[in-house]
Structure 1
Amino acid sequence: MNWRQRTRISNALKVAFSKMLHTKKFINSIKRIAALLNAVRDLTNEFPCLHFRISLRSDVYFLVRTADESTDKIEGNVIWLSWTEHELLVFLAKRVQSYLGIKVSENALLKKPQFEIAKSLYQISAGCRLFLYI
């Protein structure tokens, strides 16, 4: 076996080991989320006055559900949310306006076309460009 073959094998092993480490970290992260959900469930059962809100992306939720069978008990407490792109833009613009101290009605933003809503984000994007070029 020459040095090139050894180098290829060594690199292949490094890549495989790196993937294995990332997979372990990923699995541990999913297990931690499942443990969090179970802990919240147990706490709210023991102390009914406690209320929690946990937001997960749907793909993460499905990974947690398949990784830990005990999370099937939270199924009845799940609320599925979905947004259109227009609603997401309104949400973002509302957050920016709120941060800037500008009061704007969510209903008014919903009625505007997207190019008008985007104008309210120019203040932030102009500042970001200025910041990046400095």
Structure 2
Amino acid sequence: MRRITAIILQVLLCSGIALLGDYLVELAHLKISGSILGMVLLFVLLKSGILKLHWFEGGADWLHSRLVLFFVPSAVGISQYGALMKSDGVFLLLTIVISTLAVMVVTGWSGHLLNRFARKPIPAPIPVAAEEEKLHG
């Protein structure tokens, strides 16, 4: 029971941050999705140490394990457009495949680029004997 309560609270915390992102977008009239701003806000709060990762892990794992259920409504919605799928289904599928590949390539390239810039060269360690010789001449 304690675990279920913790998961519910963690999901509510995730939802609260997403709603805060929506609110801030509406308040500031930003041209960005509220959920994107919520993710950026969550990232900043986690990296700054204001929020701790373990406060979210159980709820995030639970949401992730049920992620496919969140796509069912859109899949059911597509079924309402049978005529469109018959006439332009191949082009729609091609567009989806190409855009998915583009997102994967750009994401991978961006991650690689950021990783390359994040690496700082580590100076070679100076042997203890050489260090002592420098100090004592």
TM-score (norm 1): 0.30
RCO (CA 8 Å, sep 6+): is it higher in 1 or 2? 2
TM-score (norm 2): 0.30
